[in-house]
C-alpha cells in the first residue's frame, strides 16, 4: 500500500508539475525499501511475521521526521 500511494504522488507530481509530490513519492519509496531490508519487519506475504498496521507504522516513522 505505501508504494501505491507513492506511485500516485509521483504521477500527480509529474502531471501537475508539483515537485513536493515527487519528493514525497521518493521518500515513501526509500522508507519502504529501508523497512524491507530487515526480515523481521516484513509481512507474512514477504516471509515475515509483522502485521500490516505495524509495517505501515515502520514506513511512516522516517517520513514524520523528514
Q: How far is CA 27 from CA 3, 16, 49, 50, in A?
A: 10, 19, 24, 22
DSSP state of 17: T
Host domain of residue 14: 2-65
Tell me how many domains the chain contains.
1
Task: Kindly report whether the global pTM for this prediction surpasses the value 0.75.
Answer: yes
Q: Walk along the chain (66 residues) and give the pLDDT tens digit of each residue.
A: 899 999 999 999 999 999 999 999 999 999 999 999 999 999 999 999 999 999 999 999 999 976
Measured between its terminal Cα atoms, the distance across the chain in Å is 20
Amino acid at each position: 500500500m505505501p508504494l501505491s500511494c507513492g506511485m500516485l504522488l509521483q504521477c500527480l507530481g509529474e502531471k501537475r508539475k508539483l515537485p513536493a509530490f515527487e519528493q514525497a513519492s521518493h521518500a515513501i519509496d526509500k522508507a519502504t525499501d529501508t523497512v524491507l531490508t530487515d526480515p523481521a519487519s516484513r509481512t507474512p506475504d514477504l516471509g515475515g511475521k509483522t502485521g500490516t498496521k505495524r509495517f505501515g507504522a515502520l514506513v511512516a516513522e522516517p517520513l514524520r521526521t523528514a
